[in-house]
Every structure is written in structure tokens, then in C-alpha cells.
Amino acid sequence: MKLPFAESFRIKMVETIRKSTREEREQWIKEAKYNLFNLKSDHVFIDLLTDSGTGAMSDKQWAEMMTGDESYAGARSYYKMKAAIKDILGFDYFLPTHQGRAAENVLYSTIVKAGDVLPGNSHFDTTKGHIEFRKAFAIDCTIDEAADTQLEIPFKGNMDPRKLEEVLKKYPQEKIPAVVLTITNNTAGGQPVSMKNIQEVSAVCRKYGVNLQIDAARFAENAYFIKTREEGYADKSIKEIVKEMFSYADIATMSSKKDAIVNMGGFVAFKSEELWKKCQMFCIMNEGFITYGGMSGRDMNALAQGLDEGTEFDYLKTRIKQVEYLGAKLDEYGIPYQRPAGGHAIFIDAKKVLTHVPKEEFIAQTLGVELYLEAGIRGVEIGAILADRDPVTRENRYPKLELLRLAIPRRTYTDNHMDVVAAALKNVYDRRESITHGYVITKEFPIMRHFTVELEKAR
Ligand SMILES: *Cc1c(COP(=O)(O)O)cnc(C)c1O
């Protein structure tokens, strides 16, 4: 008999989580102004809000915490992190930052000015925020296929090199500080980018003399998909694939809360010594001295260890299999989601579930609230609230997709939890016809409104 698949870890420490009643949840979500970010985590049973910083560190990472060097300058931990970034990603220069958006802040404070254009494949919300805050423009060049949730293609996160070239042709080189390639493509459903696509995008960047920035939050998951889906990579190790991926890039920004499996941390890495030096000023001003940036020594140690563990095939297989497991359960129940299952999350196609809720009443948000009410499960809206308003007209932007993202923390929940998530979704799905209205906004920030938005029932 062929042995079944099992996790590549065992559990050494546990954290209790608690269920609640529907009445309690109705009260809590009302108090939270129907914004899932406003809930107390104690009021959540299974928390799939994000896979960012929510993973379980390993015994080795915790051991690294004990040997961190907290020296202000030139700490051992800095050199450990430097060695890991060089060995695994291949960059000579880097600045530690407190998380991914801080890496974007340091980089864009240095290279982006008003009126600039940064093409990309579905820029992440903080990336777009940092671009638009500087009165520059994030132009989406994702392949059209990404918008068809039911289409199964192996690399649905790709950038369209033709769309990219049109943008690069249209604007002068000095207006394009970087092309941003996000791997995996979070916003399009945790969908991977192929090595071929990275090569093509890089070639277009070279042709027009612009920098290729990789948004590397989930680079290791992307490498797993290249190994398992792309011709010619099956026999390469994850670490070999990772090295090749970054060989085509000039800059990488990293939220280490994802694939480096730490609770806090990030960095911006450079091939160019000159650009690294230019960025140091904003690092010192906004983050900290260049050898710790926004991080403590112990966290840099854990990050270095996490980069190594996060690029091991068995770990990645365990992780991505769990996401696929949830996807397969949803298939069983006929619940539509962005196909195929992504690397870190399942993205429920809310428009296909709640067909009676008008887009002005925030379809994916409505589904998120329903799932919370059903079983205390917290997902996050990737729809019109997140898409925010047009920076010029200030009108709501209604994206093609209204998705409810269920992000799965690394090494944190078991498949039994996934069974509960799937069953709760089935219950919501079974009563979908009775859900006819959603929510309207009562309060919002001028930018990145989704974190703090307040809502009330539409009718
Ligand atoms: C999380 C994330 C970021 C921002 O990182 P933070 O650590 O949350 O600041 C940037 N890009 C992508 C693709 C992300 O997933």
C-alpha cells in the first residue's frame, strides 16, 4: 500500500482557541462595525484573516531568538541575515525593515516621485498605497486570464509582457523607477508566476533600461509551483529555483512575515551597491541604523533560519497540500473559488455565491461577515473595499473580482480546522439565496481604507 502524505513536522507547543455562540458573534461583529479587522482575536475561532506573521516558528527559530545579538551597530545577527539573503536569494546588499511595507517605504521614498509609473502584476495593497501616496501610478499588467476564476492554468499570476511593453514604450525611462513583479501574485489569488514569465518580464525591463523589483513575500511558494508545474524544473531543488528567480531581478522587497515564517520583519535587497547606499538615508530616518533597520537582533536570527526552512521542499509541500485540501473540500460542495487553489489561500468567488447582493453593497465583505456569523471564522475581503477609490476621480473602483480570501497561516492549523471551514462555507452557500443585501460605508480613511472602514447594514 502506498503510504499517505503526512506533515513534515510534529507539534511541540499548543495555543488554546475558543468557540463562541451565534448570538455572541452577532453582537461582536456589530460592535466591530462589520469590519473583520476590528474584531478581537479572542472572538475568532479559526483566524484566516492573513497568513502574515501568523505562522508557527520552529524550535530552531526559537533557539535562534536566544542567541540574537542586540548590538546597535554591526551585530552578529545582521551578518547572519546578510549571509542568508546572499546564500538563498543571491543579493549582496540589503536593509532590514520592520515589515514588507517598510521595505517599500524605504525604497519608494528614494526612487519614486510624483507622476511616475510603476507597472506590475496586481500590486499588493500596501505597494499600491505607497505608490499612490507619492502621486505616482500603479499600472496593472496582469494577464487577462487571471480574472476568470474558473479557468485552470498553472501560472495565473503572470504579468503580460505585451501589456508591460506598451507601458514602457509610452513613458520615458526616467518616469519608470521600477517594474513590480509580485510572486506569488497575492491579489490575483495567490497564483504563481512562471520562471519563463520572470525571464520575459526581465528581458523587457532590460530592453527599456528599467529596474525589475520582485515583491518577494511568497517567493518560496512560487518556487514550489515552478518545481511542480513548470517544465524543466522538477529535478531542481527549491533553493536552486529561488536563486534563478532572483537572478533576473535588480531589487527585492520582502515581507518576511510570509515565507520567512517570522512574526515580524522584512527587508529590501539590492544588486546595486549605489542604490543600496541611496536608500540608507530613508532606512536610518524611518526604520533604524542600517545594520538593524526595523528589527531586533533576535528577529534577524529567526528570519535567517526561517529563510532556510521556508525553502525546503517538504515544508512547502506540507503547506501547499493543506491549501489544496481545503480547495478539494470546496470542490466537493460545489463552492466556487479562484482556481486552481493558490499557494497561501483560497479565494472564494463571492460574486458567484451571493448573486443577489449588489456590488455597491460590497459582496465579498458580506460573505466574510456571513462566514464569521456562521462559525467564528475570519477571512478578508479582496474586493471593492480593498480596491478603494480612484485617486483622481475619488469614485469607488469596482474590481472585476469580488473575493473572500481565506489565508492559511503556516504550520498553525490542522486539516480538521479546514474541515470546519469548508462545512461552515457550505452552510452559508446552502442559504445563499436568502442573503439579499450587504453593507454601506459610514466612515473611511482617504487611503487604504479597508483596515479601518466602518460599515452598517445596507437595508
Ligand atoms: C504582505 C505583503 C506586503 C506587505 O508586507 P507587510 O509585511 O504586511 O508590510 C507586500 N506585498 C505582498 C505581496 C504581501 O503579501
Cell output for 17: 482557541
Please tell me if the CB atom of residue 329 comes closer than 6 angstroms to any atom of ligand 1: no
Question: Look-up: residue for cell 450587504?
Answer: 438
What residue's CA is closest to ligand 1, atom 14? Answer: 217
Q: What is the pTM of this model?
A: 0.94
Pocket of ligand 1, candidates 49, 97, 98, 101: which has the most ligand atoms within 8 Å of its Cβ, to mutate? 101
Residue 355 lies in a domain: yes
- 51 is an active site residue: no
One domain, residues 261 and 153: yes
Question: Does residue 369 carry a pLDDT above 90?
Answer: yes
- The pLDDT of 102-117, averaged and rounded, is 98
One domain, residues 257 and 147: yes
One domain, residues 301 and 373: no
- The pLDDT of 14-26, averaged and rounded, is 97
Residue 363 lies in a domain: yes
Q: How many CA atoms, within 13 angstroms, populate the side-chain half-sphere of residue 254?
A: 31
Better-predicted residue by pLDDT, 66 or 445: 66
Q: What SS3 class is residue 242?
A: helix
One domain, residues 292 and 340: no
pLDDT, position 288: 97
pLDDT, position 49: 98
Residue 123 lies in a domain: yes
- 217 is an active site residue: yes
Q: Omega into 127 within 30° of 0, i.e. cis? A: no
Choose one of 309, 336, 368: the last residue of a domain.
309
CA angle 7, 45, 101 (to 5 degrees): 75
Residue 375 lies in a domain: yes
Please tell me if the CB atom of residue 257 comes closer than 6 angstroms to any atom of ligand 1: yes
Please tell me if the CB atom of residue 268 comes closer than 6 angstroms to any atom of ligand 1: no
One domain, residues 291 and 401: no
Residue 96 lies in a domain: yes
* Mean pLDDT lowest among 46-60, 251-265, 381-395: 381-395
The one-letter amino acid code at 356 reads H
Choose one of 242, 277, 309: the last residue of a domain.
309
- When divided into structural domains, the chain yields a total of 2
Residue 7 lies in a domain: no
In angstroms, what is the span from residue 59 Cα to ligand 1's centroid?
A: 25
Question: Look-up: residue for cell 548590538?
Answer: 71
Q: Quick check: 332 and 429 in contact, CB under 8 A? A: no
Residue 124 lies in a domain: yes
- Domain holding 395: CATH number? 3.90.1150.10
Q: Residues 47, 51, 140, 215: which is the catalytic one? A: 215
One domain, residues 137 and 195: yes
275-292 residue pLDDT tens: 999 999 999 999 999 999
Question: Look-up: residue for cell 455562540?
Answer: 21
For 38-87, where are the E strands, in sequence order? Answer: 46-47
Residue 235 lies in a domain: yes
Rounded to 10°, the helix 313-333/297-310 angle is 70
Stated length of the chain? 459
One domain, residues 36 and 110: no
Domain that holds residue 176: 59-309
- Domain holding 242: CATH number? 3.40.640.10
pLDDT band at 241 (very low <50, low <70, confident <90, very high): very high
Question: Does residue 387 carry a pLDDT above 90?
Answer: no
One domain, residues 64 and 164: yes
Choose one of 292, 309, 326: the last residue of a domain.
309
One domain, residues 245 and 284: yes
What residue's CA is closest to ligand 1, atom 3? Answer: 100
One domain, residues 103 and 139: yes
314-365 residue pLDDT tens: 999 999 999 999 999 999 999 999 999 999 999 999 999 999 999 999 999 9
Average pLDDT, the chain: 96
In angstroms, what is the span from residue 242 Cα to ligand 1's centroid?
A: 19
Locate the ligand 1 atom nearest the alpha carbon of residue 184 and give its number: 13
One domain, residues 45 and 78: no
One domain, residues 280 and 350: no
Question: Alpha-carbon distance 401 to 382, whole Å?
Answer: 8
Question: Alpha-carbon distance 188 to 338, whole Å?
Answer: 8
